[in-house]
Amino acid sequence: MKKENKALDMMWTVILTIASVLYMYPIVMIFFNSLKEETSISTNSAVQLPTAETFAGLENYLNAINSKGFLQSLGYSIVITVTSVIAILLLCSMCSWYITRVKGIVSSGLYFLFAFSMVVPFQMVMFTLSQTADQLKLNTPWNIWIIYLGFGAGLAVFMFAGFMKSIPLEVEEASMIDGCNPLQTYFLIVMPMLKPTMVSVGILEAMWVWNDYLLPTLVLDIKKYKTIPMLIQYFRGSYGRVEMGPMMACIMLTVIPIVITYLLGQKHIIKGVAAGAVKG
Amino acid sequence: MEKALKKYSPLFVIPTFAAFVIGFIIPFAEGLYLSFCQFTTVKNAKWVGIANYQRAFADESFTNALGFTVSYAVVSIVVINVIALGLALLLTRKLKGTNIFRTIFFMPNLIGGIVLGYIWQILINCVLSIVGEPLLALNETAGYWGLIILTAWQQIGYMMIIYIAGLQNVPGELLEAAEIDGANAITTLLKVKIPMIMSSITICVFLTLTNSFKLFDQNLALTAGDPKHMTEMLALNIYNTFYARAGAQWKGLGQAKAVIFCILVIAISMIQLKATRSKEVQQ
Identify whether residues A177 and A163 lie together within a single domain: yes
- Domain ends where: A44, A64, A84? A64
Which of B20, B135, B262 is opposite residue A121, by nearest beta carbon?
Answer: B262
| A126 found inside a domain | yes
Identify whether residues A75 and A213 lie together within a single domain: yes
Identify whether residues A17 and A93 lie together within a single domain: no
Identify whether residues A59 and A74 lie together within a single domain: no
Chain A CB contacts of B107 under 8 Å are: 24, 259, 262
* Nearest chain A CA: its distance from B27 CA (Å): 5
Structural domain containing residue A40: 2-64
**A263 vs B5: CA distance, rounded Å:** 41
DSSP-derived letter for residue B259 is: H
Per-residue pLDDT tens listing for chain B (283 residues): 677 788 888 888 999 999 999 999 999 999 999 999 888 877 788 888 888 899 999 989 999 999 999 999 999 999 999 999 999 999 988 888 888 999 899 989 888 889 999 899 989 988 898 888 888 888 888 899 999 999 999 999 999 999 998 898 888 888 888 888 888 888 888 888 888 888 889 889 988 999 999 999 999 999 888 888 889 999 999 999 988 887 778 888 999 999 999 999 999 988 888 887 777 665 4
Give the residue on A whose Cα is nearest the Cα of B33.
A128
**B161 vs B113: CA distance, rounded Å:** 20
Which of B115, B125, B129 is opposite residue A251, by nearest beta carbon?
Answer: B115
Identify whether residues A47 and A72 lie together within a single domain: no
Identify whether residues A36 and A19 lie together within a single domain: yes
Q: Does B7 touch chain A (CB under 8 A)?
A: yes
- Domain ends where: A64, A95, A114? A64
- Domain ends where: A64, A79, A101? A64
Cβ of B242 within 8 Å of Cβ of A126? The answer is yes
Chain A CB contacts of B266 under 8 Å are: 119-120
Q: Which of A125, A132, A148, A254 to mutate to test the interface with B (most CBs of B within 10 A)?
A: A125
| A104 found inside a domain | yes
Q: Tell me how far CA of residue A129 lies from CA of A138, A140, B20, in angstroms.
A: 10, 14, 11
ipTM over 0.95: no
Q: With the C-alpha atoms ordered B148, B236, B155, A256, is the resulting torsion angle positive or negative?
A: positive
Domains in chain A: how many in total? 2
Chain A CB contacts of B28 under 8 Å are: 117, 120, 124-125, 128
Spell out the domains of chain B, with CATH numbers in brackets: 2-34 (no CATH), 53-277 (1.10.3720.10)
CATH (domain of A136)? 1.10.3720.10
Give the residue on A whose Cα is nearest the Cα of B109.
A207
| A120 found inside a domain | yes
pTM score, whole prediction: 0.89
Q: Tell me how far CA of residue B162 lies from CA of A273, A276, B41, in angstroms.
A: 8, 10, 43
SS3 category, A265 = coil
Identify whether residues A59 and A98 lie together within a single domain: no
Contacts of A139 (CB under 8 A, 6+ apart): A133, A219, A220, A221
Cβ of B123 within 8 Å of Cβ of A29? The answer is yes
Identify whether residues A175 and A43 lie together within a single domain: no
| A265 found inside a domain | no
Which of B22, B34, B110 is opposite residue A150, by nearest beta carbon?
Answer: B22
Q: Does B84 touch chain A (CB under 8 A)?
A: no
Q: Does B39 touch chain A (CB under 8 A)?
A: no
